[in-house]
Amino acid sequence: MSNGSLWNRLEQWTRLSRLSFPVPAHAKNIGYCLGGITLMGFSLLFLTGLILTQFFNPQTELASKSIHYIVEQVTGGRFLRSFHYWAAQAVILSMCAHILRVFITGAYKFPRVLTWYFGMALFFTATMLSYFSGTVIKWDQEGYEALEHFEFIVGLLGPIGTFMGKGLTDSVSMNVRMYGFHVTLAPLLLIGLIAAHFYLVHVFNISPLPRGPHSRLDEVPEAELTGTFTEHLFSIVRFSLIFYGLVAILASIVPAPLEAAASSEPTGAKPPWIYLWQYGVENFVGMPGILYSSLVLALLFLLVPLLDRGPSRDPKDRKGILSLGAAVFIVLLSLTLYGWLSPKQVHHGHSQEHDPAHPQDHSMDGMPGMKDMGETPTDEPMHDHAAAAPAGSTQEQHPAHESDERTH
């Protein structure tokens, strides 16, 4: 069977030619491929995370050990975990770059307002939910103190917080629940938002350039759509291979951080870089500042299309909104640098309710199978506890879905 007949058969089965619908020629530029590059990164995170889940045990006595097991005993485990971690950082960077490009070029203007809102929902789901839960579940000091912050914040939300926090049930530890969210609900939310976002991108096509004859139009005129979506897709694949190829090289050279298991002594462990600006806010106003600063940032994103309603996408016609965006960026960058450079601080709100030495409530002692599972609470510090590791493992293991371990 010749290549031509193979292609013809594939075309009959899939109608791939229908992907060659017209798009603006500038869709091949890297700035307009950043959304697709981010999608490729999500796909890689889903794939590597799925493999890592086969070796990770989220029970608090075993989570840190299972990560060590992945890194030290699973064939290719060190690279797989490192790639998952660095790919998560790369996805956040590409997503931020995509948002910046959309903001600067005014691509959020009518009729693409809903596209912008779905993109913002996608950003907050990826960073505040998926990445954060990946930070917690590895159950090192950073993860332990991140969970304490989480429970303090949800405590400010009333009944909603009760549903999200440990008040819902004593039968399952918070780390196991966080892991369940990380590998099920978070991916489902991401997939739904991605589908809605890209559907709208398809419906309204790629936005016109911010300068030129079409900058005030809703869409590039059909007669001037000189590119095809297939070419756009090939550009995304080409840039993604380069970008994530570099991530793979980085992962092979620089292993993902492998920290000790959590201790009951608060250290003021700093969060991943994406949250350092909130750490800076927290230093000034305490832990409630995390919630309020997140709400302020979300509100600013919501207001962008409402404050900039004019038809022009040209930056010289949008000095007000761009100046506001620059001011917000400078504030976030300054808080991030402050959070990075300032000494560690133990913020109040820490308690012994999640003492790593007592990873589960004593109400679970009588539950069938708990003792056999090696989760019976102990008075010994977790890092000194020689709890049984998963079958076939040693005492050293590390998260799998540490999905970015701080990612994710």
pLDDT, tens digit only, all 408 positions of the chain? 445 577 788 888 888 788 889 999 999 999 999 999 999 999 999 999 999 999 999 999 999 999 999 999 999 999 999 999 999 999 999 999 999 999 999 999 999 999 999 999 999 999 999 999 999 999 999 999 999 999 999 999 888 888 888 888 888 999 999 999 999 999 999 999 999 999 999 999 999 999 999 999 999 999 999 999 999 999 999 999 999 999 999 999 999 998 888 887 778 889 999 999 999 999 999 999 999 999 999 999 999 999 999 999 999 999 999 999 999 999 999 999 999 999 988 875 444 444 454 444 433 343 333 333 333 333 334 333 333 333 333 333 343 444 444 333
Would you say residue 95 lies in a domain?
Answer: yes
* 31: CB partners within 8 A, 6+ apart: 101, 105
DSSP 322-354: HHHHHHHHHHHHHHHHHHHHSPP---TT--STT
Would you say residue 143 lies in a domain?
Answer: yes
Distance CA 41, CA 33 (A): 12
Would you say residue 404 lies in a domain?
Answer: no
Distance CA 334, CA 321 (A): 20
Distance CA 217, CA 207 (A): 9
Q: What pLDDT is attached to residue 16?
A: 78
- Distance (Å) of CA 139 to CA 136, 264, 354: 6, 12, 11
Would you say residue 236 lies in a domain?
Answer: yes
DSSP 136-190: HHT-BHHHHHHHHHHHHHHGGGTHHHHHHSTTS-SSS-HHHHHHHIIIIIHHHHH
* 184: CB partners within 8 A, 6+ apart: none
Q: What pLDDT is attached to residue 168?
A: 84
Cα radius of gyration (the chain): 24
Would you say residue 105 lies in a domain?
Answer: yes
The range of the structural domain enclosing residue 228 comes to 27-265
Question: Does the bond joining 111 to the residue before it have cis omega, within 30 degrees of 0?
Answer: yes
Q: Look up the pTM and report it.
A: 0.83
Find how far residue 57's CA is from the centre of its chain. 21
* 213: CB partners within 8 A, 6+ apart: none
CATH number for the domain including 87?
A: 1.20.810.10
Would you say residue 218 lies in a domain?
Answer: yes
Distance CA 23, CA 148 (A): 48
Distance CA 76, CA 80 (A): 6
Q: What pLDDT is attached to residue 3?
A: 53
The helix/strand count (H/E) of the chain reads as: 14, 2
Quick one: tokens of 266?
């608060």
* 53: CB partners within 8 A, 6+ apart: 183, 400, 401
Number of domain units in the chain: 1
Would you say residue 138 lies in a domain?
Answer: yes
Percent of the chain residues past pLDDT 90, beyond the cut: 71
What are the pLDDT digits (tens) for 25-56?
999 999 999 999 999 999 999 999 999 999 99
Find how far residue 235's CA is from the centre of its chain. 24
Would you say residue 99 lies in a domain?
Answer: yes
Compute how many other C-beta atoms are within 10 angstroms of the C-beta atom of residue 250.
Answer: 16
Q: What pLDDT is attached to residue 4?
A: 59
